[in-house]
Amino acid sequence: MTGTPSPTLERRLGLWSAIAVVIGSTIGSGIFRSPAGIADKLPGPFPMLASWIAGGLFAICGALTLAEVASALPQTGGIYVFLRRGWGRVPAFVFGWSQLIMIRAASLGAIAITFAEYFWRVRTGAAASDAEAMTVRYIAAAAILLTGLFNVVGVRVGAAFTNLTVVAKYGGLLFIVLVAFAVGLPRTGGFYTPALPAGSFTVSAFGLALVSTLWAFDGWADLSYNGGEVQDPQRNLPRALIGGTLLVIAIYLLANLAYLAVLPIEEIRVSKLVAADVAQRVIGAAGVVFVSVTVMISTFGTLNTVLLTSPRVFFAMAADGLFFRSVAAVHPRFGTPWVAVTLTATIGAAFVLLRSFEQLADAFVTAFLPFYFLAVASIYRLRKDPSYRPSFRCPGYPAVPAIFMLAVLYLLGNALVQESSRWQTLGVFGACLTGLPVYYWTVGRGGRGGSGSAADAA
């Protein structure tokens, strides 16, 4: 590998495309599926809204922190690069390994299953039966492979498709909000806000609800994986990470207020697609079709965006010598990391045939949180490095990164304390930690351990 120039990707993503990547990778199935699970764990509307506000605070603290780090390290690989530079080769490798065997495959699978369920519903007019469930999973696998093809063909193709679906999904949610406030709220006469029963709210239940909220918010950091493809990254990466996250927080809070303006909390708890129920209550059957199509566009667009961003981790690892060198191949015609994209899509398609939505979503959130913690914490180490020169400084430092890190520790501790989630959490951590022996059996044998600096794969 020595003497071979690192493969490069062209900087083709402008500011709007970068913002669209943040929105597109975040708004997927979560805002349509998560409210029921969140409401079911909490005693009323105020705790439910508090969970979404806390999730938004969590996301913006993370975005402000990583906006600084990304402005100093605008390289392909994002969080992998931040871990590599801040903590060394071993944590970076374990992150990439976890992405490969669990995190990205679980994320793609959960999103693709939601797309396939609503594709089936629009096509047949009814939900899939148990006998048809495997057919739905094959549709989900096909959707992953198709969006993988889009991202092999070119960054501009993938980005253009992301831009189009972002306008559709954000506009669809905004339409639901406007209709709920303009038509639904006058009919109901106000928000459903019953008094909380004494002792009904617990910190542990709030923590479990917040995990579901974070599933909906996840994606705010994915643009960092494309750091080597963003134009004028010192300016555009911070703007896109912060601006895109704020736009997501705004539409999520408005959507939940809209849901509560039309439906009582008891109905939200049992609603698999609360937006569709709101639209049906306000508009009728046409509203259900509209929301179902919106969910299809939203989830298919998110699949595309995830395959635009996450394969760059494996590309950067390979360019760094921590993965098979062939994975760093750039397509001679399309200029894309086609091997990394193909690998990610193939594993995601395999996962979706083996696991349920709930299994995939829970595994994804639990596995990612420790790496988010380390990525945000890297700012404290990097600020001590004389060569670290960010063009953007995190406001509220050092409190803002600390808030994010304390929230992660609370969520992980709560998951371990709860008997219902303890063993699953430990199982996910165990799977991620298998990366340690893999590292020492493979690349670590060369004696190249230590921190070093991240290779610039951009």
Mean pLDDT, range 292-316, rounded to an integer: 88
| Structure confidence at residue 202 (pLDDT) | 77
**What pLDDT digit, counting tens, does each position of 50-78 carry?**
999 999 999 999 999 999 999 999 998 99
| Structure confidence at residue 63 (pLDDT) | 96
Question: What is the DSSP track for 197-245?
Answer: PTT---HHHHHHHHHHHHHHHTTTTGGGGBGGGBSSHHHHHHHHHHHHH
Q: Which two tokens stand for residue 347?
A: 């594993």
Which residues does residue 44 pair with via DSSP β-bridges, in sequence order? none
Residue 124 has pLDDT above 70, yes or no: yes
Which residues does residue 226 pair with via DSSP β-bridges, in sequence order? 76
Q: Which of 43-52, 221-230, 303-312, 414-423 has the lowest mean pLDDT?
A: 414-423
- Confidence tier at 425 by pLDDT (50, 70, 90): confident
Cα(295)–Cα(114) distance, rounded to whole angstroms? Answer: 8
**What pLDDT digit, counting tens, does each position of 231-287 carry?**
999 999 999 999 999 999 999 999 999 998 888 888 888 887 788 888 888 888 888
**What pLDDT digit, counting tens, does each position of 14-34 carry?**
999 899 999 988 988 788 878
Which candidate, 145, 142, 109, 146, places its Cα nearest to that of 352? 109
Residue 457 has pLDDT above 80, yes or no: no
Cα(95)–Cα(83) distance, rounded to whole angstroms? Answer: 8
**Apex CA 187: angle with CA 43 and CA 276, to 5°?**
65
Mean pLDDT, range 148-172, rounded to an integer: 82
What is the overall mean pLDDT for the chain?
84
Q: Which of 301-315, 349-363, 390-404 has the lowest mean pLDDT?
A: 349-363
**Apex CA 149: angle with CA 147 and CA 153, to 5°?**
120
Q: How far apart are the first and last CA of the chain?
A: 17
| Structure confidence at residue 2 (pLDDT) | 40
**What pLDDT digit, counting tens, does each position of 72-100 carry?**
999 989 999 999 999 999 999 999 999 88
Residue 4 has pLDDT above 50, yes or no: no
Mean pLDDT, range 201-211, rounded to an integer: 79
| Structure confidence at residue 79 (pLDDT) | 94
Helix (H, G, I), strand (E, B) or coil at 330: coil
Cα(403)–Cα(373) distance, rounded to whole angstroms? Answer: 11
Name the strand (E) or helix (H) holding 32: helix 30-41
pTM of the shown model: 0.85
Cα(163)–Cα(22) distance, rounded to whole angstroms? Answer: 11
Residue 229 has pLDDT above 50, yes or no: yes
Q: What is the DSSP letter of 336?
A: S
Cα(349)–Cα(208) distance, rounded to whole angstroms? Answer: 28
- Residue 185 or 226, more confident: 226
Helix (H, G, I), strand (E, B) or coil at 378: helix
Mean pLDDT, range 116-134, rounded to an integer: 82
| Structure confidence at residue 190 (pLDDT) | 55
Cα(82)–Cα(92) distance, rounded to whole angstroms? Answer: 8
Which candidate, 122, 116, 173, 120, places its Cα nearest to that of 285? 122
- Confidence tier at 420 by pLDDT (50, 70, 90): low
| Structure confidence at residue 125 (pLDDT) | 74
Rounded to the nearest 10 degrees, how much is the dihedral formed by the CA atoms of 224, 33, 168, 173? -110
- Residue 99 or 361, more confident: 99
Helix (H, G, I), strand (E, B) or coil at 332: coil
- Residue 209 or 400, more confident: 400
Which residues does residue 13 pair with via DSSP β-bridges, in sequence order? 230
Would residue 395 be called left, alpha or beta, if left means φ above 0 and alpha means ψ between -120 and 50 degrees? beta
Residue 197 has pLDDT above 70, yes or no: no
| Structure confidence at residue 238 (pLDDT) | 96
Q: Which of 72-86, 100-114, 167-181 has the lowest mean pLDDT?
A: 100-114
CATH of domain 15-443: 1.20.1740.10
| Structure confidence at residue 450 (pLDDT) | 41
| Structure confidence at residue 254 (pLDDT) | 94
